[in-house]
Chain A
Amino acid sequence: MSQSKISWQRIRDSQLFWPLLALALIMLFNLFFTPGFYNIEIKDGHLSGFLVDIFNRGSILMLLAIGMTMVIATGGVDLSVGAVVAISAAVATVLINPALAEKLISSEELVKDVTSTPLWICILAALVAATACGLWNGLLVSRAKIEPMVATLVLMVAGRGIAQLITHGQIITVYYSRYFFIGNGYLLGIPFSFFIVAFVYLAVWLLARRTAFGMFVESVGINARSSYLSGINEKNIKLIVYTLSGFCAGVAGLIYSSNVKSADANNAGLNLELDAILAVVIGGTLMTGGRFSLLASVIGALVIQATTTTMYALGVPAMAASAIKGLVVLIVVLLYSDQTKLVLGKLFEREGARS
């Protein structure tokens, strides 16, 4: 594409424009108000600093946002991702040290750097459990025809209970050092979680954009019935996106539990479903479904993580930060609604009738 064709209008219409602008604004804010934000130094042979931290901490959110984008693109929503993160974390950590969940054992035995199940089985089991959760959501939405918000609400409520059932209500601490590599390790000086995100992103991107699948998803999101009439198996499309979202949450759960070296069924992934939805919304994918952009959602996740990190750097208490986050989201949503009104005035009327 030649340079002259990229007009201002074209840039502004791009789904990437607004999230990038938001990210740029936060970065600009940090340039002036947060000392040392852009410092990147090499510590123990790997990169460290606020920016690296945003990527590392944001990896969980980015993964969830990738799965959530596809779900929202079909016109649904997945509220259960936070609970699925907890389930995945619980399964992996319990398999590493099953004794911990059952009885009190001596501390020497507890802190041994061993695993009672091979690591790959732990990871596989966690991913299978999470994918099964996604599949369950997908079945409820596509086969039982339950409204997505309600269907996933069930797992959101019950999921934490299930996670606690797995951990027997204990906070499972992991002492197996090889497991830490997933969320804390560095490869070529870059956080390993970054590679996981890149891999998942690439895989989903290939599925969505190099096959017709992405088109089908958008089609179902715009009008499920006409998609069905034009020969798209909308049920299976929905089933797949929810399963995918569950899988992404499973990977996120592994990173989370490995990062904090424990699994707390009550607090693992708490409120993450909200952050993931917000990331997708900031990324410009409409909640009513249709056109989506995976990259925009990932940038949206970075925006949220950057905002959070900035507020921590400024010394805002973690819980109070959520007020500012909510305010930011509200502003973004209102901006979008105006913008959509201007650009897609016609589409808006239809949206009003639908939602």
Chain B
Amino acid sequence: MMERLNIDRKFVPVLATIGVFITLYFYGWLQYKGMRTPQAFLNLFVNNAFLLITSIGMTFVILSKGIDLSVGAMIALTSVVSASLLEHVGLSPFIVLPLMLLMGILFGATMGAIIHFFKVQPFIVTLAGMFIARGMCFFVSLDAIPIHDPFYRTLALYRLPIPFIDKAFLSIGAIIALLVLIVGMYVAHFTRYGRSVYAVGGSEQSALLMGLPVGLIKISVYAISGFCSSLAGIVFSISLLSGHGLYATSVELDAIASVVIGGTLLTGGQGYVFGTLFGVLVTGLIQMLIQFNGNLSSWWTRIAVGALTLIFIAVQSLFATKWKRQAVARSSRTMQTGKPDMSMGDNLSAGSA
């Protein structure tokens, strides 16, 4: 019986998010005619493609008990640099695209290396990274650079029709986002690497003692996040066909909020990439509902997302404390730790799944 309860517990936050999403969507479906078309649902993916990609990268970082505040700035930097290379330098998009992804990976890996080797808090390093990336944008160009490249234009206008459904389509960004989601889920839940990330997030000390390459894992999650945010930057610049340093401000907050709403614990080692999808969908849905309503101003989005994040965090921390107490009680004879957040009990239960 204990075993079954354990399984239930791990899925509770994700199920709650899915529940919230369905309830909200159902409400919208009843309330607004515009939301009853299949395209309204698909638009959630089309409009939030870059956020989904970024959030998946962020999920890996948060699972390893880190945080990456540089993602929004990285999106802007990618958009500016790619626009500048395409328009001012005249490089082919087939060189620019891999170059941008490489830039993201290197940027992320550098931050990860500093975090690991100098033992500086991720929060500070990625904060500095955010400043640097944002500032670099304006060294490249102070104004927005429009992209006229024909390949980008083709991508921007491409619509993938959904079979059997009328007037339903996905944009190239949404397709990329869904691919990233599938790859992300596979890597996180079905590979040795994914399990190592959970283990490091659960308890770095234990992971080290188990013989896992902790340093490599920590550096690589930031590289993944860097890759994802530069990919998101590409999607972003394709959809807007321009690059500017002021794009994607405070996306890092939206990404973190989405990951948290998706049921991933900020204390690391627990959560699902799949949950992040619903976190992003809920965030997007709130925005959509407020747009459909028409009377509510856009700032209600921020308040609603903030409130929802708070509710999820509060409930999680409540449950986490309760479960931890049970887990500690179960293993109290074997474990005596002064710090509650060092107890591995429930953190590792997800890691070993």
> Chain A interface (Cβ within 8 Å of chain B)?
77, 140, 144-147, 149-151, 153-162, 164-165, 168-169, 223, 225-226, 265, 274, 277-278, 281, 287-288, 317, 319-327, 329-330, 333-334, 337-338, 348, 351-355
Contact = CB atoms under 8 A, between A and B. Distances in A.
A289 B250 CA distance: 27
16 contacts: A144-B314, A145-B317, A146-B313, A149-B123, A151-B313, A157-B250, A157-B253, A158-B302, A169-B297, A169-B298, A278-B127, A320-B139, A326-B128, A326-B132, A327-B128, A333-B118
Interface in B328-344: 338-340, 342
B121 A165 contact: no
Contact of B314 (A146, A277, A288, A325): A146
Given A169-B299, A355-B121, A319 B134 contact: yes
A322 B299 contact: no
B131 A161 contact: no
Contacts, number: 152
Nearest to A151: B313
Given A153-B256, A160-B299, A319-B137, A325 B305 contact: no
Given A158-B307, A351-B119, A354-B339, A326 B135 contact: yes
The 6 closest A-B pairs by CB, nearest first: A323-B135, A158-B306, A326-B131, A161-B302, A164-B299, A320-B138
Given A281-B124, A319-B137, A320-B135, A147 B114 contact: no
B302 A160 contact: yes
A157 B123 contact: no
Given A325-B135, A326-B135, A277 B127 contact: yes
Interface string B216-228: 0000000000000
B303 A274 contact: no
Contacts of A225: 338-340
B309 A154 contact: yes
B246 to A, nearest CB: 8
Contacts of A165: 297, 299-300, 303
Contacts of B310: 140, 154, 158
A150 B302 contact: no
Contact of A322 (B67, B134, B253, B305): B134
Given A149-B266, A319-B246, A320-B138, 13 more contacts: A144-B314, A154-B307, A157-B306, A159-B306, A162-B303, A164-B297, A169-B299, A319-B142, A320-B135, A323-B132, A323-B134, A327-B131, A355-B121
Contacts of A333: 118, 120, 124-125, 128
Contacts of A317: 138, 142
| B contacts with A: majority SS | helix
A112 to B, nearest CB: 28
Contacts of A326: 127-132, 134-135
Q: Point out which of B130, B250, B313 has the most chain A C-beta atoms below 10 A from its C-beta.
A: B313
A150 B135 contact: no
Contacts of B204: 352-353
B118 A319 contact: no
Contacts of B137: 319
Nearest to B310: A154
B39 to A, nearest CB: 28
Contact of B317 (A146, A164, A287, A323): A146
B47 interface: no
A228 to B, nearest CB: 11
Contacts of B307: 154, 158
A31 to B, nearest CB: 25
B79 interface: no
Given A319-B137, A337-B119, A330 B303 contact: no
Contacts of B176: none
B308 to A, nearest CB: 10
Contact of B123 (A223, A287, A351): A287
A144 to B, nearest CB: 6
Contacts of B131: 274, 322-323, 325-327, 329
B303 A161 contact: yes
A274 B321 CA distance: 30
B146 to A, nearest CB: 19
A226 B131 CA distance: 37
A327 to B, nearest CB: 6
B136 interface: yes
Contacts of A353: 204-205, 342
A147 B138 contact: no
A323 B139 contact: yes
B301 interface: yes
Q: Point out which of B205, B267, B339 has the most chain A C-beta atoms below 10 A from its C-beta.
A: B339
A223 B340 CA distance: 12
Interface in B76-115: 114
Contacts of A324: 135
A154 B338 contact: no
B243 interface: no
A37 to B, nearest CB: 22
B316 to A, nearest CB: 9
A154 B309 CA distance: 7
B233 interface: no
Interface in B264-323: 266-267, 297-303, 305-307, 309-310, 313-314, 317, 321
Contacts of A160: 299, 302
B13 interface: no
